[in-house]
Amino acid sequence: MKFKTLFSYSNAVFLSVWLFLFIAGRSRLFRDPGTFFHTAMGEKMLDTGQFPYTDTFTFTHYGDTWIAQQWLGECIMGFVHSLFGLDGLFVLTVTLVSLLYALLALRIERSGMNLMLGALVLAFSLAAASHNLHVRPHLFTMLFLAVMFAKLCDIDVKRGSYGSLFWLVPLFLIWVNIHGGVLGGLCTLLITVTGWTIAWRFGFKSPIQSFKWIYALWILTFLCFAIIYLNPYFHTLPTAWFKIMGSKATAELIEEHASFLNLLRRGEPTSFMTVAIVFCLGLFYLALLAGTDVKERRITWYIPLIWLILSFSRIRHAPLFSVVAVIAIAEMFPHCRWVTSLGNRGLITFQIRKDSRETKKRPHFQYVLPVLVVMAALLACLGSEKLPSTDQKFVKLDPAHWPVELLPELKEIEKEVPRGTPVFNDMLFGGFLIHQTPGFRVFIDDRCELYEDGFLLRYVKAEKSDFEAWRKEYPFRIALLETDSNYRKYFDGDRHWLVVKRCRAAVLYRKIIQ
């Protein structure tokens, strides 16, 4: 029995996801510029012991008001990087994602669903979230939302006590300071409690049994919302979240903020794949929801529907839908009429397992194997903090995506010029330069809330008049551009700008001093 518990379904999912991401994610998990900026920002806060209130990384907005809205997540990243380098961040990311899917696997297992079908559902969920799996604080939002929603589902079917919901207060306190995705968690809580209250009032299925529980739930909800102000920046932090969500330029420029329609218009094969996977997962969820008796449905079963609709407006919500959908699917599966009918006809895939262990507690030694794997990986990372980012033991930055082949030239120029020398760059390379060459100040990075819509739209248009205005206002003599950048025509057509070196990802220019 101990051996069987040690290699339980959830453990098998943890190890499978962990090994898959460890092999396939060495480059893929490091394709977001935010990874480098968050790490650099976290290390700076840990070194100075101060929270930033102004920008110090750019020459276009130097000194402008800006806050580190993900400060706690950035400090975690900075701390891990200082101990284990990029390899440590890689192991942390792989572990967080694997832990998330182990928790989802546990819900699948306890529901009585066929484990092979459950594995397929988990695979679709992972695929739907894959476009947003980067080394960033956003991963904590996915994990925290899954934990919170699972607890709400337990309360909805009276598997847990109301008192256990009050641990959401410290959870939200941590979440608020790690990532702005806490807004999604708060709205999910608000919608659920509102639904419970209305359902109880009109005689539908609800865990509420008296007015006393209504008062307790709404007090809890109020406390969780009030917690958003418990941060170093007070009201400025939630203001920054809404500023980003309301930005039209951000939705146009940043892929994860784009709608499904905009992604399909770009014609990228990966976009079609993402939309197809989310559609299939959503279709299975809707089929199960439609197959349940209306009078027996729980409020929490409708929550993934909201996230599915939001996914079509912004692709960044698809991973959150994929997480809550799996939990809701596990809840609905045993209550779906067509599932029961197919199971009774002999289809093993839709038969409810007899060995479902929903109420049984598991011994702590079941976690030994995952812990040993993670500890061994961290031990292997020792010494990576002393190695260059391009020579890590596990992480391999993609030279076709990042200008790693130009780092020697960039670092050489960094030594020659005064600290704070401006570099004209494409947005993709902003965080990379901030992390790798801190002696430079960049033109732009992916902190859209700093630049605001006007500046971002000018950058996207890449018109000559805007470029000429920037060149007159900011005396930059170095430029790092993507190989397909719209700005290259202005540099290639000017004899005063010379190409220092080209690589697969970028072109480095330097202006002749006359």
Q: Greater confidence, 151 or 205? A: 151
Residue 232 CB burial class (10 angstroms; 0-12, 13-18, ≥19): middle
Residue 481: which residues within 8 A CB-CB, separation 6 or more? 424, 425, 426, 487, 488, 491, 506, 507, 509
- 54-63, 72-81, 218-227, 255-264: the lowest-pLDDT one: 255-264
Give the total residue count for the chain: 514
Residue 245 predicted with pLDDT over 80: no
3-state secondary structure of 180: coil
Count Cβ neighbours within 10 Å for each residue of 129-141 and write b for 16 or more, e otherwise. Answer: bbbbbbbbbbbbb
With contact defined as beta carbons under 8 Å apart, do 431 and 448 qualify? no
- Band the pLDDT of 236: cuts 50, 70, 90: very high
Residue 360 predicted with pLDDT over 60: no
Q: How many Cα atoms occupy the beta-carbon half-sphere of 208 within 13 Å?
A: 24
SS (H, E, C) 191-229: HHHHHHHHHHHCCCCCCCCCHHHHHHHHHHHHHHHHHHH
Residue 357 predicted with pLDDT over 60: no
**Annotated domain spans of the chain:** 2-30+67-351+365-373, 404-511
Rounded distance between C-alpha atoms, residue 336 and residue 113, angstroms: 11
pLDDT at 405: 96
Mean pLDDT of 248-259: 65
Residue 387 CB burial class (10 angstroms; 0-12, 13-18, ≥19): middle
Q: Under the phi-then-psi rule, with left for phi > 0, alpha for psi from -120 to 50, and beta for the rest, what region is 453? A: alpha
pLDDT at 313: 80
Rounded distance between C-alpha atoms, residue 291 and residue 256, angstroms: 33
pLDDT at 249: 67
- Per cent of the chain over pLDDT 90 is 75
Residue 75 predicted with pLDDT over 70: yes
Query: What's the mean pLDDT when you consider all of the chain?
Result: 91
With contact defined as beta carbons under 8 Å apart, do 61 and 449 qualify? no
Backbone angles phi, psi at 133, to 5 degrees: -90, 95
Residue 364 predicted with pLDDT over 70: no
Rounded distance between C-alpha atoms, residue 89 and residue 94, angstroms: 9
Q: At what angle do helices 71-111 and 318-332 cross, to 10 degrees?
A: 30
Residue 362 predicted with pLDDT over 70: no
Q: How many Cα atoms occupy the beta-carbon half-sphere of 491 within 13 Å?
A: 26
With contact defined as beta carbons under 8 Å apart, do 59 and 353 qualify? no
Instruction: Give Cα 280 to chain centroid, integer Å.
Output: 21
Rounded distance between C-alpha atoms, residue 278 and residue 72, angstroms: 31
Mean pLDDT of 48-70: 96
Query: Residue 393 has which token pair?
Result: 């033991």
| Among 476, 443, 369, residue whose Cα is nearest residue 19 | 369
Q: Greater confidence, 485 or 158? A: 485
Q: What is the per-residue pLDDT across 322-344, written as a single tens digit (0 to 9) for each?
A: 999 999 999 999 999 999 999 99
Q: What is the per-residue pLDDT across 126-137, written as a single tens digit (0 to 9) for each?
A: 999 998 899 999
SS (H, E, C) 149-191: HHHHHHHHCCCCCHHHHHHHHHHHHHHHHHCCCHHHHHHHHHH
Query: Residue 396 has which token pair?
Result: 């391999």
pLDDT at 452: 86
Mean pLDDT of 292-305: 94
Q: Greater confidence, 365 or 501? A: 501
Rounded distance between C-alpha atoms, residue 38 and residue 40, angstroms: 6
Q: What is the per-residue pLDDT across 263-274, written as a single tens digit (0 to 9) for each?
A: 666 666 677 788
- pTM comes to 0.93
Query: Residue 495 has which token pair?
Result: 């004899």
3-state secondary structure of 113: coil
Mean pLDDT of 69-88: 97
- Looking at this protein, which amino acid is placed at residue 470? W
Q: What is the per-residue pLDDT across 142-161, written as a single tens digit (0 to 9) for each?
A: 999 999 999 999 999 988 77
Q: Greater confidence, 12 or 274? A: 12
Query: Residue 426 has which token pair?
Result: 């494409």
- 115-119, 283-287, 314-318, 466-470: the lowest-pLDDT one: 314-318
Mean pLDDT of 187-195: 96
| CB neighbours of residue 421 within 10 Å | 18
Residue 299 predicted with pLDDT over 50: yes
| Among 172, 294, 148, residue whose Cα is nearest residue 230 | 172
With contact defined as beta carbons under 8 Å apart, do 403 and 480 qualify? yes
Rounded distance between C-alpha atoms, residue 157 and residue 180, angstroms: 29
